[in-house]
Structure 1
Amino acid sequence: MLVAERYERILQTVEEKGSVRVTELSEQFGVTEETIRRDLDHLEKERKIKRSHGGAVSVKNDKTETPYSEREVINVEEKNKIAERALDFIEENDRIILDASSTAWYMAKGLPDIPLIVLTNSMKVSMELSEKQNIQVISTGGILSPRSLSFVGPLAEYGIHMYHVDKVFFSCQGVHGAKGLSDSNELQAHVKQKMVEAGDKVHLLADHSKFNVQSFSRIATWDNIHVFITDELAKEEKYLLTEKEVDVITLYDH
């Protein structure tokens, strides 16, 4: 296969899946991981993709809010496992916030029917929890965002501001060791800011494809995050966050 043809097919794969790992591409094209890294570096220089830890993400996802139907099928295995690990932090009678991320929805699916109060701006989370008798669900209300099936805007922000919770669980599009957390959609970023402010303990849930990505709208610095649950993280990045007093939990240690 010609190098130019491999570039084209790598780009197609990244855009179709939203994100991809070096190991996956190496197996797909039958070349070394070092070759794939050089290919990704080349494509990033041409601004066709964005490099992330262990792979690459589509630049299209950084410009606009990704539809929920697309987020549901990206890195499903990793998100499910991150959600399962996050459930370990929930106890009976907790008051928690779940955002409108697909990972939070996986958490909602896995939540046992125990006494809880859940505040959310997600229609999907609300519907998932509606059949669990012991869980009281409070919806923020607000302007419905059809792409994310979530509520945003001043009313949603005010709805969160009115409450205080024990624990916050949220995700975002950009996770950067130096720049903090961000999202491509300004309205979503504002809602997540209020969520972070509302909780005693804040848990960030994000898979490897989000790391070293800086999106348009800032959400918070690492000073506001207590626990970061991810699938994998390089040792130097884990050390950096530990220095910032963030409890980093990785599913697959290097």
Structure 2
Amino acid sequence: MLVAERHKKIVEVVNEKLSVRVTELSKIFQVTEETIRRDLEKLEKENLLRRSHGGAVSIKDGQTEVSYAEREITNASEKRSIAIEAVKLIQPGDQIVLDASTTAWYMAKEMPDLPLTVLTNSIKVAIELSKKEQVKVISTGGMLQPKSLSYVGPLAERSLNMYHVNKAFLSCKGVHVDAGLSDSNEWQALLKRQMMSIADKTILMADSTKFGVRTFAQITDIQRIGHVITDDHIDESFCRALEEKGVQVKTVEIK
């Protein structure tokens, strides 16, 4: 593959996934990580992407949401493994909130039929949980985001204000040790922040490609997270940095 062609495809991958790590690009294009770093440096100078610690992030319209169909197949093995681990933290009688991430949808699929109350802004999560007789599902309502099949906006935020939950299970587009959690869509970021405010404990579910990434809208500081579940491809330096800030980190093997 010619260098120019590789550069073009790197930009396409970054724009499709919003964030990607050097190790992943190295495997995709079968070149060394050092070559990828040089590629990213050149592409950043051309204002085609932005480098992050360990990878690159897209600089296309920050408010654009990736369609649910695309997100469902991106890092699917990692998301499913993380979701299975997250389900282990749920106890009968819990009141929880799930966001509109695909990892939350995997949680809904893997969740046993237990007496639970689940708040969610996700249509997909609500439909999946409707198959479980003992689970009480409450939808936020609000302004529909067609691509993510989720509700956002003032009505959704006011709806959450009426409740209190034991645990919030959330995902995001970027996890940065200094800049905190962030999302590519401001509406989603605001709602995730609201979900955290009504929960006793927040569990972040994020695959390893999300770490070192900073996207458009900040959700919260790292210290607001009690527990992180990620996959075993995460750089050990991120685990140490999170634990130094009092965040418990659980890594899961990819199945």
Once the two structures are aligned, what percentage of the paired residues are identical?
56
In structure 2, what residue type is equivalent to 1:249? K
SS in 2 for 1:35: helix
SS in 2 for 1:59: coil
Q: CA deviation at 1:123?
A: 0.4
The C-alpha deviation readout for 1:73-131, integer Å capped at 9, x for no partner, is 21111111111111111111111100011110011011011111101011000000101
Q: 2: CA distance between counterparts of 1:211 and 1:144?
A: 28
Q: CA deviation at 1:28?
A: 4.2
TM-score (norm 1): 0.90
**Per the alignment, do residues 178 and 21 of structure 1 end up closer, same or farther by CA in structure 2, a change over 3 Å counting?**
closer
Is this contact kept in 1: 2:81–2:253, CA < 8 A?
A: no
Q: CA deviation at 1:146?
A: 1.1
Give the paired residue count. 253
Provide the residue aligned with 1:236 in structure 2: 237
TM-score (norm 2): 0.90
**Per the alignment, do residues 212 and 29 of structure 1 end up closer, same or farther by CA in structure 2, a change over 3 Å counting?**
closer
Q: Which sections of structure 2, spanning at least 5 residues, go unmatched? A: none
Does residue 1:82 correspond to 2:82, yes or no? yes
**Per the alignment, do residues 48 and 34 of structure 1 end up closer, same or farther by CA in structure 2, a change over 3 Å counting?**
same
Q: CA deviation at 1:148?
A: 1.4
Q: 2: CA distance between counterparts of 1:224 and 1:235?
A: 21
**Per the alignment, do residues 42 and 200 of structure 1 end up closer, same or farther by CA in structure 2, a change over 3 Å counting?**
same
Q: CA deviation at 1:17?
A: 4.9
Q: 1: CA distance between counterparts of 2:210 and 2:52?
A: 7
**Per the alignment, do residues 187 and 17 of structure 1 end up closer, same or farther by CA in structure 2, a change over 3 Å counting?**
closer
Q: 2: CA distance between counterparts of 1:248 and 1:51?
A: 25
SS in 2 for 1:233: coil
Q: 2: CA distance between counterparts of 1:53 and 1:62?
A: 19
Q: CA deviation at 1:40?
A: 2.4
- Say what the alpha-carbon RMSD is for the aligned residues: 2.2
Q: 2: CA distance between counterparts of 1:178 and 1:199?
A: 23
Provide the residue aligned with 2:248 in structure 1: 247
Q: Which sections of structure 1, spanning at least 5 residues, go unmatched? A: none
Q: 1: CA distance between counterparts of 2:26 and 2:223?
A: 37
